[in-house]
């Protein structure tokens, strides 16, 4: 599994992994219908957000101590480490605030159980909490353990295309990245 820290077309850093984003894994045998509806709602999140959350969650499940993160190599290792550290601190703060607000909404979602049918609001909220908790665990692991930055020529080519604002070359470069790393959703993460 590979992790990426690359700028998107708005010059904002995106963090994601090579594993395709898919369903969040939760094992609950009861209320299966509720969970399936909630999962479908959760998958409606924008691809940029979902890919980031799942990449953070995957870090917490990795075994071993070597975590490699691919980047463009257009900045020095010291500078990219500083940017990544700042990015992780910002994400950690956001996730803590999200979890706190979701905990406040949880009792309110319980009142929706009085309505007929499955309580989809509770299910979506519970899945969001699980997703944010798993991502927070991954962020904390990235903050504690060493991670290694590896420059990738194709990512450099992407950031150079961004720098020149040559939108015609975006598709070509993204297609090369898709072929090399198997990132089917790269277009949704970096461009759209």
Which tens digits make up the pLDDT trace of 151-175?
999 999 999 989 888 788 888 888 8
Count of beta carbons in the 10 Å neighbourhood of residue 142? 23
pLDDT of residue 117: 64
CA–CA separation, 123 and 121 (whole Å): 5
> Nearest 5°: phi and psi at 46?
-60, 145
Which residue ranges of the chain lie beneath pLDDT 50? none
Q: pLDDT of 98-124, one tens digit each?
A: 999 999 998 888 777 777 666 677 777
CA–CA separation, 35 and 4 (whole Å): 30
> Count of residues for the chain?
192
Q: What angle do CA 49, 135, 142 make, to 5 degrees?
A: 110
Count of beta carbons in the 10 Å neighbourhood of residue 1? 12
């Amino acid at each position: 599994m590979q992790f990426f820290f690359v700028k998107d077309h708005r010059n904002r850093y995106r963090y994601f992994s090579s594993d395709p984003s898919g369903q969040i894994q939760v094992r609950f045998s009861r209320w299966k219908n509720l969970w399936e509806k909630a999962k479908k709602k959760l998958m409606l999140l924008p691809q940029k957000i979902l890919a980031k959350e799942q990449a953070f969650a995957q870090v917490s499940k990795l075994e071993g101590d070597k975590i490699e993160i691919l980047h463009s190599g257009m900045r020095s290792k010291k500078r990219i480490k500083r940017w990544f550290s700042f990015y992780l601190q910002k994400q950690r703060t956001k996730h803590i605030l999200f979890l706190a607000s979701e905990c406040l909404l949880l009792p309110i979602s319980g009142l929706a159980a009085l309505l007929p049918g499955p309580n989809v609001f509770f299910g979506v909220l519970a899945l969001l909490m699980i997703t944010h908790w798993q991502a927070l665990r991954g962020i904390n692991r990235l903050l504690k353990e060493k991670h290694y930055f590896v420059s990738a020529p194709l990512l450099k080519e992407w950031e150079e295309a961004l720098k020149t604002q040559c939108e015609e070359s975006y598709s070509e470069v993204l297609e090369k990245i898709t072929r090399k790393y198997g990132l089917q959703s790269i277009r949704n993460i970096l461009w759209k």
